[in-house]
């Protein structure tokens, strides 16, 4: 077939090439990759910043957005892994509520210390995950059914344990859901720890880029010109510095929230797991083509068990963050969270059929919803309209993506992260072959 | 109708797929009221020809004319050909298991008034149709409760309901036992008496000999000849010669084999079908592989070649019944694919898109997918080593891709196959089982794949090649086993094998020959 076409590698000529810009965020193979949904987020922020007369990027508002959405974003981390593996989890809201009430009761009624209560919460989450994972992975009941059952069961269990009442949590516990970094060190007019955090992130970005370039040099890989790296690092640093100053300059006593730090740690940790570990590879493999994965020696039952188990553990964490933020656990906690998390994952570029999706993409997808929500509220839009708009945004985001894929162009959403269908700019290559091959007489029976 | 005795003439049909000419100037003539057989190797173009006829490949996507009942017809889809009285019954039955016989027969052409189905009439008619095909089951029986043989009959009843004039059967007896097959063949002959012409595609030459009035042989997308059973003396040997009669050009790299001692043996291997408990897909099969040897496995579609390979590869197919595997003098048990990989066995599957690759992955991730532990420490994959491994194979196997970051779905078939090969070479196997390693790839890439196979053998590995193309097996193998209906029917050194001999062993068990 058209072997020759795909080999015409352009010899790199030195000097300035505009298309080198596309190498900015990884991947030499696609132009404008990564820009899709991230661009949408930036546009939405700018739009609301203008419409609200600067209220969107106000420190206290940003802190509010992080605090008010971190539990859903945490859920999205687990959810994207479930969805990559080709499943779904509808029970996360109920599981979060169930764990929340147990943790609240253990502190309020049984007088458990906070750390013990938190460990209890995680253990309960792990048990719930074992239960659901068993049915999905080893019995083979579709996750949709197992978790629909779990959604009903654990909602009831929450109300059974808490007698359908709210249980307050101790003041010290609220730290993980609504706390801030303490004010220490010299008076700078900013929150010093937030500044330090920002500095650390900035250093990490520079170091990461330097390491990438060094590795590429060692491997003789196609390397982006230095100026591109410079612009990339510059842009990222600008964002980090801006955000740092924003979060550090809030009302005294506030800073980058603890919930946001938990989120950031989870994002980093799970991004590493999904990108760099064997289990991460296996999750993508099972979702992408479980039959091929099975024939490559992947123990698919274990993978399925792990993603479902992990989701429930993460849900228990989200449940604890929520009761810490709202100072109490109640019977209506977590209603509809599963849908928010699923929406974030799909806006963030995951594929319904599995195999595609990234943690970072899902977080950005979640932020799109969060900023939209917040901006509309600042504009005084009623909750009814906000819901309608959110629904349309989800449909539009995925609809545009599906349409664009059907046209043979690379997926806009899946441009996110390295796992997207690595696609060129839709240039004719040996592409059309994919569909044609199935019909060739070789498949003749 | 004019004096033309032919119900169907397909004149100079050509059909191209990107890169492959599937049909090249193929003509057949089917007389009204005859049974016309089409034979040929896998990939000769039989099914493609029937898809052209039935409108699966619509008018305009092929060249040539179809003359049906004296008129040139231009079917745009399968509905139009059905309306004209052409019914095709595929290898994979198109029945819905959860519906009853009646519901299946009338599916798509329900007896209705204003959308309301008249079940009473439907059942009466279904009972009549079943009677015509000699099926005595209750029309309310669900399809899943009747056997494959009866399902075939239901398909034919469905075709009769649509007042079929030309019935096309694609490998109708492939999944049937002897008595069901005989019943079906009798039915086809019976229908002939009632004015229904048939085209039958089959690998079972004895059946064709039994019922066909004329036989068209296809090879490599071309018509070789049409044999009139009345005029010619037609026997199986005559047909086989037509099917395989082509010269073995220098399509294979030169090689001097260096064959060592036997290191891999399978003894008395018996495996049950995963869904049908009383059906054995491997019946007491024994074979062995030597170091540095390329062993061919010849068999027609459905003979159980893939089933044998996959059941050995960590029991990834069927239910294991009995048998032992001995490797390097020690008996080993391979209960999972991971076990098989750990014991140095690799299986390159028949269908690289469905079973071989995750098409969402890039080249480098695909290369290392079957043995991530090799480049990992503490469960963390070293992406540096991953890239180095992938680059290594890209160079040594000459995989044509702009970079190892390219998605495998962007590669051509031949290069995808090379990625699959590198994925399994990366697991450092001692034995590679290659199932149809050159299917669907072009001649140039085939030559390179042969070179890789020979290189693997030269490194002292054992290689089993499963292929439907006899010239390929004869060109690449040192020794060939033939399989027919789940049994090994012959073990031939390549010097003693020729296409005719192989085909004879691949189509019958009677002349069971054991060479050693």
Q: Which two tokens stand for residue B285?
A: 């099969």
Closest CA to B159 of B108, B95, B87, B111: B87
> Cβ B440–A28 below 8 Å, yes or no?
no
Interface of A with B in 307-366 (CB under 8 A): 355-356
| Residue B91 pLDDT exceeds 80 | no
| Per-residue confidence (pLDDT) for residue A100, from 0 to 100 | 96
Radius of gyration of chain B (CA): 25
| Residue A422 pLDDT exceeds 80 | no
Closest CA to B298 of B17, B12, B501: B501
Contact criterion met (CB below 8 Å) for A92 and A73: no
Q: What is the mean pLDDT of residues A123-133?
A: 97
Q: Which two tokens stand for residue A32?
A: 């404008």
Q: What is the mean pLDDT of residues B115-142?
A: 89
| Per-residue confidence (pLDDT) for residue B82, from 0 to 100 | 87
Laid out side by side, the sheet with B166-170 consists of: B86-89, B166-170, B197-201, B35-39, B214-219, B222-228
| Per-residue confidence (pLDDT) for residue A321, from 0 to 100 | 94
> Cβ A433–B221 below 8 Å, yes or no?
no
3-class state of residue B224 by DSSP: strand
Q: What is the mean pLDDT of residues B302-307?
A: 86
Contact criterion met (CB below 8 Å) for A422 and B405: yes
| Per-residue confidence (pLDDT) for residue B42, from 0 to 100 | 67
Contact criterion met (CB below 8 Å) for B427 and B303: no
Lowest pLDDT segment from A229-233, A333-337, A403-407, B208-212? A403-407
**Structure-token match 């060129």, residue found:** A424
Residue B71: CB partners within 8 Å, gap ≥ 6?
none
What are B288's strand-pairing partners? B265
- State the burial class of residue A160 (Cβ atoms within 10 Å of its Cβ: 0-12, 13-18, 19+): middle
Q: Chain A contacts of B412, Cβ < 8 Å?
A: 1-3, 6, 430, 433
Considering only alpha carbons, which residue of chain B is nearest residue A298? B338
What are B324's strand-pairing partners? B267
Tens of pLDDT, residue by residue over A235-269, are 889 888 888 888 888 877 788 889 999 999 999 99
* pTM, entire model: 0.78
CA distance A271 to A275: 6
> Cβ B409–A299 below 8 Å, yes or no?
no
Considering only alpha carbons, which residue of chain A is nearest residue B56? A439
Q: Which two tokens stand for residue A289?
A: 């083509």
Tens of pLDDT, residue by residue over B11-60, are 999 988 765 678 889 999 999 889 999 988 766 788 889 989 988 888 88
Write out the DSSP string of B351-382.
-IIIII--TTSBHHHHHHTT-GGGGEETTEE-
CB atoms within 10 A of CB A153: 19
What are B218's strand-pairing partners? B223
CA distance A202 to A190: 17
> Cβ A424–B410 below 8 Å, yes or no?
yes
More confident residue, B252 or B105: B105
Contact criterion met (CB below 8 Å) for B418 and B451: no
Residue-averaged pLDDT of chain B:
87
CB atoms within 10 A of CB B495: 8
Write out the DSSP string of B131-170.
HHTT--S-TTSBGGGS-HHHHHHHHHHHHHHTT-SEEEEE
| Per-residue confidence (pLDDT) for residue A425, from 0 to 100 | 31
CA distance B119 to B123: 6
> Highest-confidence range of A194-198, B203-207, B427-431, by mean pLDDT?
B427-431
Considering only alpha carbons, which residue of chain A is nearest residue B356? A292
Tens of pLDDT, residue by residue over A52-90, are 988 888 888 988 899 899 999 999 999 999 999 999 999
| Residue B250 pLDDT exceeds 60 | no
- State the burial class of residue B459 (Cβ atoms within 10 Å of its Cβ: 0-12, 13-18, 19+): exposed
> Highest-confidence range of A84-93, A393-402, A410-419, B110-119, by mean pLDDT?
A84-93
CA distance B414 to B144: 39
Q: What is the mean pLDDT of residues A91-111?
A: 95
3-class state of residue B382 by DSSP: coil
| Residue B239 pLDDT exceeds 90 | no
| Per-residue confidence (pLDDT) for residue A149, from 0 to 100 | 97
Q: Which two tokens stand for residue B99?
A: 């519906």
| Residue A424 pLDDT exceeds 50 | no
What is the interface pTM, i.e. ipTM, of the complex?
A: 0.76
A430 touches B at CB < 8 Å: yes
Q: How confident is the model at residue B443 (pLDDT cuts 50, 70, 90)?
A: low
CA distance A161 to B192: 75
Q: What is the mean pLDDT of residues B378-390?
A: 91
CA distance B161 to B133: 11
| Ordered alpha helix ranges (H), B12-88 | 46-54, 78-83
| Per-residue confidence (pLDDT) for residue B513, from 0 to 100 | 46
Q: What is the mean pLDDT of residues B301-310?
A: 87
- State the burial class of residue A254 (Cβ atoms within 10 Å of its Cβ: 0-12, 13-18, 19+): buried
A149 touches B at CB < 8 Å: no
Q: What is the mean pLDDT of residues A139-151?
A: 96
Tens of pLDDT, residue by residue over B446-475, are 888 999 999 999 999 999 999 888 888 998
Tens of pLDDT, residue by residue over B271-288, are 998 887 788 889 999 999
3-class state of residue A3 by DSSP: helix
């Amino acid at each position: 077939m058209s072997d020759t076409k795909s080999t015409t590698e352009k010899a790199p000529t030195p000097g300035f090439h505009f298309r080198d810009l596309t190498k900015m965020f990884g991947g030499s193979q696609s132009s404008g990759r990564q820009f899709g949904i991230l661009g949408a987020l930036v546009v939405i922020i700018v739009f609301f910043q203008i419409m609200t007369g600067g209220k969107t990027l106000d420190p206290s508002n940003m802190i509010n957005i992080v605090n008010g959405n971190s539990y859903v974003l945490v859920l999205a981390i687990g959810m994207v892994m479930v969805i990559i593996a080709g499943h779904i989890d509808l029970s996360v809201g109920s599981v979060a509520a169930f764990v929340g009430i147990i943790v609240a009761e253990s502190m309020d009624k049984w007088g458990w210390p906070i750390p013990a209560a938190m460990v209890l919460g995680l253990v309960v989450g792990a048990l719930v995950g074992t239960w659901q994972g068993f049915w999905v992975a080893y019995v083979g009941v579709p996750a949709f059914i197992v978790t629909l059952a779990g959604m009903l069961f654990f909602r009831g269990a929450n109300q059974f344990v808490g007698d359908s009442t709210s249980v307050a949590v101790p003041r010290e516990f609220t730290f993980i859901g609504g706390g801030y970094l303490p004010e220490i060190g010299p008076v700078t007019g900013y929150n010093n720890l937030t500044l330090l955090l920002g500095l650390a992130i900035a250093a990490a970005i520079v170091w990461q880029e330097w390491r990438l370039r060094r590795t590429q040099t060692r491997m003789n890989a196609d390397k982006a010109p230095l100026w591109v790296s410079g612009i990339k690092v510059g842009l990222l640093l600008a964002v980090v510095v801006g955000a740092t100053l924003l979060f550090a300059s809030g009302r005294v006593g506030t800073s980058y929230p603890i919930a946001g730090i938990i989120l950031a740690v989870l994002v980093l940790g799970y991004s590493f797991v999904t990108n760099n570990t064997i289990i991460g590879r296996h999750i993508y493999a099972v979702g992408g083509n479980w039959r091929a994965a099975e024939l490559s020696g992947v123990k698919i039952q274990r993978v399925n068990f792990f993603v479902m188990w992990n989701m429930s553990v993460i849900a228990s964490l989200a449940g604890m963050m929520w009761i810490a933020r709202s100072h109490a656990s109640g019977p209506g906690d977590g209603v509809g969270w599963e849908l928010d998390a699923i929406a974030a994952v799909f806006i963030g570029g995951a594929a319904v059929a599995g195999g595609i999706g990234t943690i970072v993409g899902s977080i950005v997808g979640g932020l799109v919803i969060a900023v939209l929500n917040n901006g509309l509220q600042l504009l005084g839009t009623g909750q009814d309209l906000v819901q309608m708009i959110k629904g349309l945004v989800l449909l539009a985001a995925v609809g545009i993506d599906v349409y664009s894929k059907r046209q043979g162009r690379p997926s806009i959403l899946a441009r996110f992260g390295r796992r997207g269908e690595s696609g060129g700019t839709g240039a004719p290559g040996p592409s059309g072959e994919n569909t044609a091959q199935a019909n060739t007489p070789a498949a003749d029976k | 109708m004019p004096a033309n005795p032919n119900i169907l003439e397909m004149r100079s049909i050509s059909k191209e797929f990107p890169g492959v000419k599937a049909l090249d100037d193929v003509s057949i003539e089917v007389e009204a009221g005859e049974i016309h057989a089409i034979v040929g190797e896998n990939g000769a173009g039989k099914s493609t020809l029937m898809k052209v006829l039935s409108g699966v490949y619509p008018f305009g996507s092929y060249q040539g004319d179809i003359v049906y009942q004296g008129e040139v017809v231009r079917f745009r889809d399968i509905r139009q050909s059905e309306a004209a009285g052409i019914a095709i019954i595929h290898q994979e039955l198109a029945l819905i298991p959860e519906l009853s016989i009646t519901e299946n027969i009338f599916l798509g052409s329900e007896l209705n008034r204003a959308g309301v189905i008249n079940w009473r009439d439907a059942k009466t008619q279904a009972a009549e149709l079943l009677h015509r095909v000699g099926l005595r089951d209750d029309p309310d029986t669900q399809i899943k409760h009747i056997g494959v043989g009866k399902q075939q009959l239901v398909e034919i009843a469905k075709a009769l309901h649509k007042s079929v004039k030309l019935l096309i059967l694609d490998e109708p007896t492939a999944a049937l036992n002897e008595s069901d097959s005989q019943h079906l063949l009798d039915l086809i002959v019976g229908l002939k008496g009632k004015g229904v012409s048939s085209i039958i595609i089959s690998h079972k030459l004895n059946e064709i000999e039994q019922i066909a009035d004329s036989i068209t042989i296809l090879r490599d997308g071309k018509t070789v000849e049409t044999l009139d059973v009345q005029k010619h003396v037609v026997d199986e040997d005559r047909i086989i010669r037509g099917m395989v009669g082509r010269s073995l050009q220098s399509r294979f790299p030169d090689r001097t084999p260096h064959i060592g001692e036997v290191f891999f043996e399978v003894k008395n291997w018996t495996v049950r079908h995963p869904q049908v408990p009383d059906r054995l897909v491997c019946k007491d099969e024994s074979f062995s592989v030597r170091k540095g040897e390329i062993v061919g496995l010849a068999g027609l579609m459905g003979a159980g070649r893939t089933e044998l390979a996959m059941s050995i590869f960590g029991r990834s197919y069927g239910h294991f019944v009995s048998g032992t595997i001995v490797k390097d003098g020690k008996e080993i048990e391979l209960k999972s694919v991971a076990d098989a990989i750990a014991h140095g066995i690799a299986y390159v599957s028949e269908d690289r898109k469905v079973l071989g690759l995750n098409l969402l992955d890039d080249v480098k991730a695909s290369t290392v997918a079957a043995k991530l532990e090799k480049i990992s420490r503490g469960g963390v994959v070293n992406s540096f080593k991953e890239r180095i491994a992938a680059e290594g194979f890209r160079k040594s196997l000459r995989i044509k891709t702009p970079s190892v970051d390219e998605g495998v779905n962007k590669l051509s078939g031949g290069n995808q196959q090379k990625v699959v090969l590198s994925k399994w070479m990366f697991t450092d196997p001692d034995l590679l089982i290659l199932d149809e390693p050159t299917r669907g790839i072009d001649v140039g890439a085939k030559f390179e794949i042969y070179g890789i196979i020979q290189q693997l053998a030269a490194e002292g590995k054992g290689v089993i090649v499963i292929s439907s193309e006899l010239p390929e097996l004869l060109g690449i193998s040192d020794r060939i086993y033939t399989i027919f209906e789940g049994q090994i029917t012959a073990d031939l050194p390549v010097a003693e094998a020729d296409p005719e001999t192989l085909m004879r062993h691949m189509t019958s068990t009677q002349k069971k020959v054991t060479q050693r």
